Amino acid sequence: MTFQVLSPDAARRVDPPVSRFLQTLPQGRDIAVVPITRLDGFQFRDELRGTLEGKPWVLLDFSEFGPEWDQQTSHLWGRDRLAHGWFGGDEWAKLDAFIREHPPLITFQRELLLKDVSDTMQPVEYLNYSAPIQAETEDQFNARPIDVFFQWGLSNPFRPHLHGEIFKHSQRLGYDVCSQLDHLDRCITRKDRPSIWAAIHTPHYARVSNDETIRWFGKSKVVIAAPGCGVKTFRHGEINNSIIAMRSDKLVYSVNQCGIALGDAPVDALWEAVRGRDADYLYRTYLLNHAAADSLRHERYVKEIFMPAIQKALQCKS
């Protein structure tokens, strides 16, 4: 099975993170894949009508719905997507009408509610593009110098709130907070260091390389994946050798990441996980996360999750 990418945008634009996902697919002309994200100045590509009419095609929707989304309201193309303010206007309405009149064989949607799942409506994830990493031994994992790592940009009010909560509770619980990447090396080499938590605001104009960020993941027991403009973020694919910590949500995931639920008292939940439970619990959780992250490696995900879902939809249609 091979795939041909057809942007629905008249200017043929594809969001770069989605383009990276598409590059992992076998290229050809068996089935068309139409990727959708919110694009400023979007204009519908009218030629899709003739190209896709009567042919099986796949809708790949990586759209996000903002921090205010209640995770109750569905936003599905061909049904109720236009009710979301980010997709108003005549051009998005043309795309919505096309999808309603020429429904895809299957839709993969990043922000998909559990209540909306079906054989033809499936979740999709940000993938793990790192090379395979061997799981550490329990002694190696327990020796990691950073208990909790949280690096964030400002796209959701929960992120600065959690940053503040980490500082607020540090004296009560007795951990040390490092808030700058360039301090971390010196922070972790101190003798008799306490529990170390990193809470680092990295604005868009001061981003560091992804390799540098992932290097610190490997020195941390727990890494926080906080929601941004979407519930699912890059972190869900990037945290491939640590324990993921995330808020509970109502979305469906292709792979259960078995992490730490932050809950209403996120700092206490994190402290209980890293210091309140026995070390065996933390290491077992790490191994579960390591296996889940390996399932999100792009080669495995496409072969074991993405393509089988399409094949099943084709069989049902025939």
Q: What is the CA radius of gyration of the chain?
A: 21
User: Same structural domain for residues 241 and 102?
Assistant: no
User: Same structural domain for residues 9 and 142?
Assistant: no
Q: What is the DSSP letter of 107?
A: E
pLDDT of the residue at 248: 92
Residue 290 lies in a domain: yes
Residue with tokens 């031994």: 137
> In this predicted model, what pLDDT tens digit does every residue of 110-136 receive, in sequence order?
999 999 999 999 999 999 999 899 999
Sheet containing strand 121-123, edge to edge, reads 3-5, 31-36, 57-61, 106-109, 121-123
Q: What is the DSSP letter of 2?
A: -
User: Same structural domain for residues 156 and 173?
Assistant: yes
Q: What does pLDDT average to over the chain?
A: 94
pLDDT of the residue at 278: 80
> In this predicted model, what pLDDT tens digit does every residue of 186-245 receive, in sequence order?
999 988 888 999 999 999 898 888 888 999 999 999 999 999 999 999 999 999 999 999
User: Same structural domain for residues 302 and 273?
Assistant: no
Q: Band of the pLDDT at 43, cuts 50, 70, 90?
A: very high
Total structural domains in the chain?
2
Residue 82 lies in a domain: yes
Q: What is the DSSP letter of 191?
A: T
Residue 247 lies in a domain: yes
Residue 133 lies in a domain: no
**Residue type, position 71, single letter:** Q
User: Same structural domain for residues 291 and 142?
Assistant: yes
Residue 102 lies in a domain: yes
Residue 123 lies in a domain: yes
User: Same structural domain for residues 209 and 144?
Assistant: yes
Q: Say which residues have a Cβ less than 8 Å from residue 134's Cβ, sequence separation at least 6.
A: none
Neighbours of 212 (CB within 10 A): 11
Residue 132 lies in a domain: no
User: Same structural domain for residues 154 and 113?
Assistant: no
The CATH number assigned to the domain holding 173 equals: 3.40.50.2000
CA distance 32 to 264: 43
pLDDT at position 7 over 90: yes
User: Same structural domain for residues 186 and 53?
Assistant: no
pLDDT at position 260 over 90: yes
Q: Band of the pLDDT at 277, cuts 50, 70, 90?
A: confident
> In this predicted model, what pLDDT tens digit does every residue of 48-106 receive, in sequence order?
998 998 889 999 999 999 999 999 999 999 999 999 999 999 999 999 999 999 999 99
Q: Band of the pLDDT at 18, cuts 50, 70, 90?
A: very high
User: Same structural domain for residues 252 and 156?
Assistant: yes
Nearest 10 degrees: Cα torsion 39, 43, 44, 45: -100
User: Same structural domain for residues 11 and 121?
Assistant: yes
Q: What are phi and psi of 123, to 5 degrees?
A: -75, 160
Residue 150 lies in a domain: yes
User: Same structural domain for residues 23 and 38?
Assistant: yes
User: Same structural domain for residues 306 and 275?
Assistant: no
What residues make up the domain containing 242?
138-295
